Amino acid sequence: MIKDKDFKIDGIDKIILNKLMQNARTPILSIAREVGISGAAIHQRLRKLEVSGLIAGSKFIMNPKVLGFKTLAFIGIFLDSSSKYNEAVKRLKEINEVIESHYTTGNYAIFVKILCRDNEHLMQVLNHDIQNIKGVSRTETFISLDQQIDRQIKI
């Protein structure tokens, strides 16, 4: 969340951000040469963007398929009572295959994204882990067949 509502980014900031969003390993000096400012100025701008809250961090992105995780699924979780929400999320955090959890409007109390090795592994996580959480009344599972879009918001 941007801390200063008057915070503005300029064209140079946009170039820096776009280059680093495409490849976080892009050398700072390469970006500096492209925009015509010093590497130190790039570092100062990045620090300003971090302090503002616009940059929330950086990370390596692993390819789960290389690790054998080939089944991606989304699970809508129904709770028998909204008072069970916090405990259910606490338990979901203990399941390594759960990689995202969302509190949403609509039919589900919780909507999660999980990665499994295969459909059998998915069934095991559903039957032994998620559906055994106290308060979970039922689930709906959607298996992703392919991901066509994976991007950040355009600046």
Neighbouring-strand partners of residue 103: 110
pLDDT, tens digit (0-9, with 9 covering 90-100), for 28-87: 999 999 999 999 999 999 999 999 999 988 888 899 999 999 999 999 999 999 999 999
CATH number of the domain at 42, please: 1.10.10.10
Mean pLDDT of 124-137: 97
The total number of structural domains in the chain stands at 2
Cβ 110 vs Cβ 93: under 8 Å: no
| Residue ending a domain, choose from 21, 38, 61 | 61
Check whether residue 46 and residue 105 sit in a common domain. no
CB atoms within 10 A of CB 88: 19
CB atoms within 10 A of CB 89: 17
CB under 8 A, 24+ apart: contacts of 96-102: 97/121, 97/125, 97/129, 98/130
pLDDT of residue 154: 85
